[in-house]
């Protein structure tokens, strides 16, 4: 796997197929429409776990924002006493006088 270095040539290749050739001596050339692209081998190490990469400060701040938003969403759901359609149907079949969301006909 190879990563194409950012630049104008790389932008033109987005979503398109490129030509990759390997010579007898092992060097790899990647081209698009006859124009060479600057690329580097992607070091994929199977021993590396994603959890070990999380030491990025920006990622940590983003994860804290997401966690806060999720906690707020959960709190709002707990405070909302709106009945589900299933609960509404059960109440409609139950005792007379129980509140429902249906309008009486």
Higher pLDDT, 73 or 99: 73
Highest mean pLDDT among 18-22, 42-46, 96-100: 18-22
Order of strands, edge to edge, in the sheet holding 19-22? 19-22, 28-32, 35-37
End-to-end CA, the chain: 67
Average pLDDT over the chain reads 77
Residue 31: which pLDDT band, with cuts at 50, 70 and 90?
very high
The model's pTM = 0.40
| Alpha carbons 13 and 32: distance in angstroms, whole number | 7
Q: Which residues contact 76 (CB under 8 A, 6 or more apart)?
A: none
């Amino acid at each position: 796997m190879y990563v194409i270095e950012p630049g104008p040539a790389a932008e033109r290749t987005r979503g398109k197929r490129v030509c990759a050739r390997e010579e007898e001596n092992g060097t790899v050339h990647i081209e698009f429409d006859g124009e060479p692209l600057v690329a580097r081998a992607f070091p994929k190490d199977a021993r590396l776990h994603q959890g070990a990469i999380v030491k990025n400060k920006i990622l940590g701040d983003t994860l804290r924002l997401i966690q806060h938003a999720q906690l707020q969403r959960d709190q709002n759901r707990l405070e909302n006493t709106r009945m589900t359609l299933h609960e509404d149907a059960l109440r409609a079949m139950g005792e007379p006088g129980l509140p429902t969301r249906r309008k009486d006909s």
